[in-house]
Structures are given as C-alpha cells and as structure tokens.
Amino acid sequence: MQLEQYGGSVRSPLFSILLLVLLLACVRVADAQLDRYYYLRRAHEAYQDKRYTEAIVTLRDYLDYRPDDRIGLYLRALCKYQLGDHRGAKRDLDRLLGRHPFAVDALMLRGIVTGELGAPGEGMKDLQQGVELRPSSAGIRFMRGIGYFMLKDYPSAIADFSVQLEHEPQHLNARLNRGTAYLLHGDTLSARRDYLDAIIAHPFDPSPHIHLARFYYVGQHMDSARQQVDEALELDPQSAQALIMRALIQGSGGQLRGAVETLTQVIALTPQNSMAYYNRGQLYMQLKEYRLAARDYEAASRISPRNIFIRYNLALAHLALGQLALADRSLSVALAICPEFTLGYGLRAEVRLGQGRRREAKRDYDASRRLAGRYRRGELGDLSDTGKRYDVLMAFEEGFSTGQKALENEPAGDRPLPLARIVEGGEQDYEEWVPIRYLPDSTQLGRLRMAIEHPGEGGAHSPTRLALESLAEQNPLLRPLASYRRAVESIDRLRYAAVDSQDGIAARQGYKPIATNTDYSRPIAQLEQLQVATPSPYIDYTLATAYYLQRQPERAEELLTRAIASWPNFAEAYFNRGLIRLLLEKEEQACQDLSRAGELGIRQAYRAIASSCRGGR
C-alpha cells in the first residue's frame, strides 16, 4: 500500500516543516559546517523538486564522509521512500535510530515504511512510540492514523485523522483519509461529507473530485461519478486517475471502444501504469479480443509482478485462447505469491483437468475446498473468499502501479548493464588492477593511459582491437588488455547482430539481440584464464555477464559476489546481481542489492524495485 492512496504523503507540510527545522537547526558558521550545509541544502532542493535520484547521489557523496549524519540519513530515507525503495529507506532509518533512538520524525517514517514492507503490526510499535514521545502533536497522530489504516483498524484511523482535522481543518490529506476510512467502515454518509468538504476547502485540487467519483462509481451512481470526473479533468486534463475513472464509467455504460481509447491515452501518459493495462485487458476480454487482452495482462504483470488479480486474469485470457500450459504457469505464479488464493486453486484444477493431469487437478480441488472451509470458519482473509470476483474493472490502486512520475524518465530496470570496456584516458574508481598502465613517454606514442573503465562508460575513446594489439606488441604489459578485448568482442559478436560496426567490433548503439541459444564457452574460457593471471573485479563482472548469457545464473551470482567483495562500491555489480537473484527467486537479497545499486547511483535500480519488490511500487 502507498501513502498517496490515502492522501498522506511525505510531501505533506508535516515532513517539509520537520526537514526544514532540522536543516536550519544544524547550520553553523564554521567552515566545516559550510560544506555540510552545501550538501544538505543541495539534496533538499532536489527533493523538493522531486529529483529524488539526484538527491540520493548527492547524499551518497556526503554520507561517505559523514555516515551517521542525522539529517542526511533522514533525507535520503525520504527520497528512497518516494522511489518505492522501502528496504533502503528502512536501512537508513535503522542506522539513524541506532544513534538517535528518540528521533520522532524518523520513528514515524520507519513505522510507515515497515508497514509498507508487509509488517504493519511491527510498524505500529514505532508509531505508538512516536505518539508517546509527542502526545500533543496532531501531525504525529495523523501518521499513526495511516498505520491504523494499514492494519484495517478503521475506527482508530478515523479517530487519529479527526485529531489532525481538529488542529487543522483545511488538511486535505487527513480529510480524504478519513473519508476513505469511513467508506471502508461502511459509513457512506460520513465519507461523502468528508469528500464534499474537501472539495469546498480545496476547489482547485482534482484529488477530492477523484475520490468522490470513486465513491459514486462504487455505488453505481454513474451520472454523479461522471460529473466529478469531468470536474477533475477540467482542473488537470492529464490526470491519469481521473482518466481511468472516465474509462471505467464508459465501460460500465457499454462504451467499450471509448473506454479502450481512454485507457490508451492513460498508457501514453504513464507507460508504467499497470492499472491502466489491467483495465484495458478487461475491456478486451469483454470484446472477445483475447490476444490483445493477454498482451495487456502480460504488460501489467511485468510492471506489478506480484499482483494476483493480473495473474488470475492472464490465466483466463490464456484459457480462452486454448493455451493451457501458459494458463497453468500464470496461476502457479499467483499461488506462489499467495498460497491462500482459493479461486486460483479452483481455476488451476480446471486447467490441469483439461491437460489430462487428473491427480494434480484433484489435489488443487482439495486445496480449494480446504481453504474455502477455513475462510467460512473465519480463519483466513478475503483472498480465500470464493464469492469474490477477480475478473472486474478496478477503481482502487492497491497492488497496482499508477506510473509514478518520479520513475517515468528512468532507464528500463529489467536488463543487465553492459560489459566493462577498455578505454584510453578517463578516471577509474578501482585503481588496483595490474593491467592499468601508464606507458612511458615516447616519440611514437606519447604518454598513454589504458584501463578497463566503468561498464557502459561512453565519455572516453575506445581503441580498436587492431590498434590495441599493435600497442601490446610494443609493450607486453598491455597484453592482458588485448586478451580481454578479444573476449569482450567475441561475446558481443555472439550476443548481437550489429547494424553499425567498425573494424569488426559491434557498435555501442543499434544492437539487435540474436534470439538463438548461443554457446559462450569460448570467451568464458578466455576470461577464466585471464582472471587467474590478472585478478580483477571488472573481469569477474564481465565473466558473470557471460555466464548469465550462458544460462548459468548461479555461477554469475558467485562471480558478482566476488567482484563486490573486491570492490564494495561496485554499483553495476550490485545491480546485475540483484536482477540475477530475482531470477533465482531470492527476492529479499535481490531487493537489497537493487537498493544498494540505487544508493550508489544506478538510476534504473529504482524501476526494478518498483516492478519486482514487495513493498516497491
């Protein structure tokens, strides 16, 4: 669950005030403090502008020097939270609270983050402690209300939101939060009153109109819902949430093609909006365009891979297409995510019966009946309810990505980073590998620096293979570099069909992956020999990529672990190991790696976290 769903956000005035007070309180005139002020102010400005990755990179440099700075850790945790990196945020908050156990702002944020990671009960301990430390703070009560909301203790949430509203009647987030809590508690009149009050208090904000539109949509008051959507879109014509509501209203009114067009517009605005893909898939199912539906469900599942609504409907689409094996796979993934998903067992039993797998089908039927019985006895939650429908249009975002704007321009997070390259000149963080050479001055070559650079480094010149081998003939110290270059070139030649190349070396741009089972054993052998002769984390990194391409992820993970042990700040290695650990179903370790990669400056790590980590967006 995301704070933004309930209106409560760390972009709220509460957090801005806390941050500003902390920032200004710690500024000193001494020169040593001026540097601190520069870094913190620069990071704070980036945070306010929603440039979260930039703020994290700035704070990385500062926290390398002062790793226990209270404001730096808190601000970085805020940025990570906004990017969906709840594990990374909790890591920073744990460190901060280890030194400052009564830092109330950090306690409250950790309570929310812990709840987002699936442990709202544990998070509530921090929230309760924060209230005990500042019992008169309405803002602290507001944060605890969000914790109660996560626990589905709606009466307690309503009480805490009411305290905030007594202190600040114009507080939009508290008003919308309380309205939603009333709605989920069954008090529709109070919910409607809060939404209307929010519209009156904030006439130029589309959020209250969207909340009220959902209220009317769920109650089947389509004309009123349509009116509120129109009001929201007049205030913000590109509001993805309002456009999704318009599509749902169109779909419910039988305007299926119009709804598809509206959702296509949403996807163009927010390409990472899994809710839009899911709902468009539902419309395609109603139109009996099953292939298009399956395609949209696939796209939605890549963005929100742990959403069982998407997995279940993807199985229905495959079933409609007669693709029983694919339907079985989708349901198996859903059941691995949620073993209490009763309808998933029932549908998989039908699929396996159609495949002739009678014994397995019977086991699934038995599991379905057993879970249904436990649900009737009150032992299990809603996911075991056989009366609940999962093949419907969705108006609420829980479990979906809504295409967070902070991630829209980030690189894709589902593919490993490139191989390390040999370049002339430039700087390199890891300076202990033997083949980094400064050639002596000569009339022919001048002073030349050769090194293996960061993966994907594009700023320096990369010598051709023939030029490097010519240099290696003149200076034997460069032979390991020439050998490395040949191995990398072999991998590129096997991996890509180059549409633009020079001197037989695949170009950096214009790659077209070759969709065949390719044998990388020869360049792997070359790199293994080179690693024995001249150990380097860069060679481990590139060798891991080769093993990954060879479909040996366990060996790739081992090599990346060794590279990280040699160079603890090897950001690209953390990122690739995170992706490989996702393949190996080591989710917690993978997400920790991706969090560390993002902290070290790999921007696409946050998109990978958003799509693949529980507690991520």
Q: How crowded is residue 474: how many other Cβ atoms within 10 Å of its Cβ?
A: 12
Tell me the mean pLDDT in the region 254-283. 91
Q: DSSP assignment, residue 381?
A: -
Per-residue confidence at 277, pLDDT binned at 50, 70, 90? very high
Residue type at 533 in one-letter notation: A
What's the Rg (C-alpha) of the chain? 27
Mean pLDDT throughout 55-76? Answer: 88
Strand pairing partners for 402?
A: 273
How far apart are the C-alpha atoms of 272 and 254, rounded to whole Å? 27
Domain ranges across the chain: 1-200, 422-567
Is the model more confident about 226 or about 428? 226
45-57 tens-digit pLDDT: 988 888 888 899 8
- Count CA atoms within 13 Å of residue 47 on its CB side: 27
Characterize the bridge pairing of strands 501-502 and 505-506.
Answer: antiparallel
Average pLDDT over residues 580-587: 84
| Backbone φ and ψ of 291, nearest 5° | -65, -40
Given this model, what pLDDT does residue 486 score? 78
Q: Largest alpha-carbon pair distance within the chain?
A: 88
More confident site: 581 or 534: 581
Q: How far is the C-alpha of 496 from the C-alpha of 286, rounded, in Å? A: 41
437, 478 contact by CB (below 8 A):
yes
Whole-number pLDDT of residue 396: 61
Concatenated DSSP letters of 432-500 = --TT-EEEPP-TTT-SEEEEE--TT--SSB---HHHHHHHHHH-GGGHHHHHHHHHHHHHHHHHEEESS
- Per-residue pLDDT tens for 177-213? 999 999 888 899 999 999 999 999 999 999 999 999 9
* Mean pLDDT of the 544-573 span: 88
Between 557 and 534, whose confidence is greater? 557
DSSP, collapsed to helix, strand or coil, labels residue 393 as coil
Within 10 A of 203 (CB to CB), how many other CB atoms are there?
11
Would you state the pLDDT for residue 455? 45
Q: What is the mean pLDDT of residues 163-183?
A: 92
Tell me what pLDDT residue 437 has. 35
Neighbour tally for 589: CB within 10 Å = 14
3 state DSSP class of 273: strand
Q: List all residues 6 or more positions away from 484 whose beta carbon is below 8 Å from its beta carbon.
A: 422, 435, 452, 527, 530, 539, 542
pLDDT of residue 477: 59
pLDDT digits (tens, 9 = 90+) for 347-374: 999 999 999 999 999 999 999 999 988 8
Q: Could you tell me the pLDDT band of residue 236, with boundaries at 50, 70 and 90?
A: very high
Of the two residues 62 and 392, the one the predictor is more confident about is: 62
Amino acid at 525: A
Average pLDDT over residues 525-531: 87
Q: Is 415 left (phi over 0), alpha (psi -120 to 50) or beta?
A: beta
Residue 217, classified by CB atoms within 10 Å of its CB into exposed (0-12), middle (13-18) or buried (19+), is: buried
What percent of the chain is modeled with pLDDT above 90?
38
Helix (H, G, I), strand (E, B) or coil at 513: strand
In the three-class reduction of DSSP (H, G, I as helix; E, B as strand; rest coil), residue 246 is classed as helix
Q: Predicted confidence band at 439 (pLDDT cuts at 50, 70, 90)?
A: very low
Instruction: Name the 3-class secondary structure at 172.
Output: helix
What's residue 89's pLDDT? Answer: 93
Under 8 Å between Cβ of 204 and 216: no
Q: In this structure, what DSSP letter does residue 47 have?
A: H
Is pLDDT at 281 greater than 80 in this prediction? yes
Structure tokens at 289: 């365009």
Identify the CATH number of the domain defined by range 1-200. Answer: 1.25.40.10
DSSP state of 400: S
Q: pLDDT tens digits, residue range 389-422?
A: 776 766 665 555 544 444 444 444 445 555 554 4
Q: Over range 5-14, report the average pLDDT.
A: 41
Structure confidence at residue 579 as a pLDDT band (50, 70, 90): confident
pLDDT band, very low/low/confident/very high, at 446 (cuts 50, 70, 90): very low
Average pLDDT over residues 539-543: 87
Query: Region 141-146: what's the mean pLDDT?
Result: 90
Given a cut of 60, is residue 434 above it in pLDDT?
A: no
Mean pLDDT of 550-567: 90
Q: Residue range 124-130: average pLDDT?
A: 91
User: Tokens representing 548?
Assistant: 């990954």
Which of 89, 26, 10 is CA-nearest to residue 606?
89
* Lowest model confidence (mean pLDDT) among 226-240, 367-381, 496-510: 496-510
- Kindly indicate the confidence band of residue 378, based on its pLDDT and cuts at 50, 70 and 90: confident
User: Residue 312 and residue 168: Cα distance in Å, rounded?
Assistant: 44
pLDDT tens-digit readout, 292-341: 999 999 998 887 777 888 999 999 999 999 999 999 999 998 898 888 88
Residue 510: is its pLDDT beyond 50? Answer: no
> What pLDDT is attached to residue 505?
31
pLDDT on residue 5: 35
Whose structure tokens read 């379905």?
A: 368
- Residue 27 clears pLDDT 90, i.e. is over it: no
Q: What is the pLDDT of residue 327?
A: 93
- The chain-wide mean pLDDT, for the chain, equals 78
Proportion of the chain above pLDDT 70, given as a percent: 75
- Dist. CA 348–CA 359, nearest whole Å: 12
Q: Tokens 């360049």 — which residue?
A: 523
Q: How confident is the model at residue 109 (pLDDT cuts 50, 70, 90)?
A: very high
SS3 category, 164: helix
